Amino acid sequence: MARIVVIDDDPAIPRMLSAMLAECGHEVVEARSGKYGIKALLSAPTDLVITDILMPEQDGLAVIREVRRVSPLVKVIGMSGGGRTLSSALSLNVAEKVGADATLPKPFSMEELFQTVDRVLNGRS
């Protein structure tokens, strides 16, 4: 199956996604910041990056740009629940404009996650 890097500053999110995606046979690497997510991406061949958009230090938009720069064939899914100054819809729209293959508004169901991951990994973005 796929090697997936999950990036979110809320430690519960990568843990939860890791458990769900591992059930499908994926190898999942968890990262709590964009910086560590990019390091994980560069440490081994990666098929997919799932990144939160609104994070301190290096946000998900910077992560998407960096993935496109260093590994343009790696697929990217942006996810967001919005924030104080930016709505979820707007942040996900911007994520698509900077190169995300798909987006997921938080909260999302397990079925939505699986469908989106399958669609992106199989080239049906």
Q: What is the pLDDT of residues 34-87, one digit of tens each?
A: 999 999 999 999 999 999 999 988 999 999 999 999 999 999 999 998 766 667
Alpha carbon separation from 54 to 30, 45, 72, 78 (Å, rounded): 17, 25, 22, 10
The answer to whether the bond into 14 is cis (omega within 30° of 0) is: no
Mean pLDDT, the chain, rounded, equals 93
pLDDT at res. 44: 97
Q: How far apart are CA 46 and CA 15, in angstroms?
A: 18
**Looking at per-residue confidence, does 46 or 125 come out higher?**
46
Show the domain range for 56.
3-121
pLDDT at 23 over 90: yes
**Cβ atoms of 22 and 67 closer than 8 Å:** no
Number of domains in the chain: 1
* CATH value at residue 76: 3.40.50.2300
**Cβ atoms of 64 and 99 closer than 8 Å:** yes
pLDDT at res. 29: 98
